[in-house]
Amino acid sequence: MVTARQLLLEAERRLAAAGVPTPGPDAEMLLAHALGVTRSRLGVLTALGDPVEAGSFADLLDQRAERVPLQHLTGRAGFRALDLRVGPGVFVPRPETETVAQLAVEEAARRTGPVVVDLCTGSGAIALAVATEVPGARVHAVELDPMAHAWARRNVDDLAPAVDLRLGDAATAFADLDGTVDVVVSNPPYVPPGAVPVDPEVARHDPQVALYGLGDDGLQVPRRVVATAARLLRPGGYVVVEHAEVQERAARAMFGAATWTDVDGHRDLTGRPRATTARRR
């Protein structure tokens, strides 16, 4: 048997050689998962230097070296204060989307009993962030892809069963809520056709329906989201739409109709343009 420190050192070297961008943290998370302990407990085991039984660690390491997403291997993804279930068939939520969720949370928190709709919910990350951070919020979410919807259902059942989760198309969803919604938020697919993501974890494992936004500029789906938001929102209602940094100008143009006012752009924690917001006149 070997110690946790020996396992981690060898795993970090192997993952670095495979091009994994964060080999040290990934090795720690995989070993903690294999041992069934928290990362803090793994730190204690590493410091003690006692031998450990690695269990499934070798297999997990093989898969991560092949660039299977870390979150698929552990079955979990952190998002703000949430611990979400994820796996094959659902888009893994990204840190940059936490900025998008923050905009929706802040706007919802300004209102009493706000009605919030999350279009293209994926794992349910944004909807659940609002539901768990804004007391009294009435949250609705929709997802088109059945596999992603199944993951969202698990997360809703675990974390906020009152969320109204539906299987359907964001373009036609929630006709029963027309004109009554305070906040619409969406992280829709927006990658342009032909712009294959660089990271193998994304290109090989994220579902294409969650990546590619259709149209020459990748904004066909986001434009449908904006049209749906115009239908759903009450006057003064607020919409937040995520997009790629290179789509900042085109995203603003989606809100060029007289329907919208107070159009504004927002940057993520890395300083990149990440979302556009507007209010319903």
Q: Closest Cα partner for 76 from 125, 12, 27?
A: 125
Lay out the sheet containing 273-280: strands in order across.
Answer: 164-167, 138-143, 115-119, 181-186, 233-242, 273-280, 260-267
* Residue 155 assigned as binding residue: no
Dihedral pair phi/psi, residue 178, rounded to 5° = -50, 125
Q: Return left, alpha or beta for 152; rule: phi > 0 is left, psi -120 to 50 is alpha, else beta.
A: alpha
DSSP H or E segment with residue 77: strand 76-79
* Residue 190 assigned as binding residue: yes
Residue 206 DSSP symbol: S
d(C-alpha 137, C-alpha 131), whole Å: 6
Long-range contacts of 10-18 (CB under 8 A, 24+ apart): 11/57, 11/61, 14/61, 14/65, 15/61, 15/64, 15/65, 18/64, 18/65, 18/66, 18/67
Q: Count of CB atoms within 10 A of residue 237's CB?
A: 24
* Residue 23 assigned as binding residue: no
Amino acid at 52: V
Cα 201 to its chain centre, rounded Å, is: 14
d(C-alpha 271, C-alpha 114), whole Å: 29
- Give binding residues for substrate as ranges: 187-190
Residue positions forming the annotated binding site for S-adenosyl-L-methionine: 143, 187
Binding residues: 143, 187-190
